């Protein structure tokens, strides 16, 4: 009787254990599936956010999922991207309209002054006044031409195409040949391939400002050193020149808009935006621009960008 009771009471324990294991396995499987689906959705949101931050505002998550917190998060992110895209498009239109509205009267004023000073009856005082007005007008035009690329570089979602900094630098130097020769510099070039992915127009403007800045502040007969290549940090472009000595603590100010060092040759002719544009373009392409004073005087500015695959 005792053995029978022990055997009868012992039957439920193996069965209940298997039931618990089965229920646990089913719960684990369902939890794993639910967690996997949730993580896939979150990974998709994260991937899209990273892609948007680096490349373009055109991509959307467009999550196909049942209503829930994750779906609401994805839809809210898409709505935010729509508003940002519209804001940047409106800003681009504003920049284009501002360029037209600002440059048109300057062009008209320049034409009127040029006509006035070239008249046979124009006196010496009128001609001198006209030359001063033309100089002021030219400075304003250069300022507008510098402000517009700065605005675009800081706000535009750039196109991404293969670009070799060495090729662009060579083309820029060739195009600026006459301006460079006025200073009669000793040109040193080390042209190794520097492949990057970015907006060709913005990168060309960046290099043009770098070379123009180096030529403008170079001493007559000084050295103009242009180097391109790759390192472990990425593809780089380096432009150096001879000039007045610059203290290390003054270098950071050169990248701020409208900041110029008054002891630099040619500083009164600049807009104070050249290196600001260079750094803005570099940041737009996930890179950076740094400057180092040269021991013998002058400055070397190096732009480093992520190397193209």
Residues 224 and 152 in one domain: no
Helix/strand/coil for 183: coil
Q: Which domain holds residue 250?
A: 161-305
Name the residue among 116, 136, 134 with its Cα closest to residue 126: 116
The tally of domains found in the chain comes to 2
Q: Where are the alpha helices (DSSP H) in 55-123?
A: 69-117
Give the residue from 262, 220, 227, 260 showing the smallest Cα distance to 243: 220
Q: Which of 32-36, 70-74, 243-247 has the highest mean pLDDT?
A: 243-247
Does residue 250 contact residue 297 with C-beta atoms inside 8 Å? no
CA dihedral over 254, 260, 266, 271, signed as positive or negative: positive
The pLDDT, as a whole number, for residue 79 is 83
In this structure, are 91 and 201 located in the same domain?
no
Nearest alpha carbon to residue 299 among 283, 275, 281, 282: 275
Is the domain of 179 the same as that of 95? no
pLDDT over 70 at 4, yes or no = no
pTM beyond 0.85: the answer is: no
Q: How confident is the model at residue 258 (pLDDT cuts 50, 70, 90)?
A: low
Residue pair 148/186 in contact (Cβ under 8 Å)? The answer is no
């Amino acid at each position: 009787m005792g053995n029978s009771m022990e055997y009868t009471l012992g039957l439920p324990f193996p069965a209940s254990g298997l039931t618990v294991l089965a229920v646990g396995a089913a719960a684990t499987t369902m939890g794993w599936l639910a967690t996997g689906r949730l993580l896939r959705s979150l990974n998709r949101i994260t991937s899209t956010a990273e892609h948007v931050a680096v490349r373009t505002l055109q991509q959307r998550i467009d999550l196909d999922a049942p209503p829930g917190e994750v779906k609401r998060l994805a839809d809210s992110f898409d709505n935010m991207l729509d508003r940002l895209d519209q804001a940047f498009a409106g800003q681009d239109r504003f920049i284009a309209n501002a360029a037209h509205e600002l440059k048109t009267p300057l062009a008209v004023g320049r034409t009127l002054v040029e006509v006035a000073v070239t008249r046979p009856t124009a006196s010496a005082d009128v001609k001198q006044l006209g030359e001063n007005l033309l100089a002021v007008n030219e400075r304003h035009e250069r300022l507008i031409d510098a402000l517009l690329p700065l605005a675009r570089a800081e706000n535009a979602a750039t196109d991404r195409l293969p670009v070799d900094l060495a090729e662009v630098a060579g083309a820029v130097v060739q195009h600026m040949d006459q301006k460079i020769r006025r200073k009669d510099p000793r040109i040193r070039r080390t042209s190794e391939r520097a492949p990057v992915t970015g907006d060709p127009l913005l990168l060309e403007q960046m290099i043009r400002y770098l070379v123009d800045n180096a030529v403008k502040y170079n001493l007559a007969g000084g050295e103009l050193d242009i180097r391109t290549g790759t390192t472990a940090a990425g593809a780089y472009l380096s432009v150096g020149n001879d000039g007045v000595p610059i203290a290390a603590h003054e270098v950071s100010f050169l990248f701020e808009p409208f900041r110029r060092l008054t002891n630099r040759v040619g500083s009164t002719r600049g807009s104070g935006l050249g290196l600001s544009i260079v750094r803005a373009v570099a940041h737009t392409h996930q890179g950076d621009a740094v400057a180092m004073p040269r021991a013998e005087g002058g400055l070397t500015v190096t732009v480093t960008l992520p190397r193209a695959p």
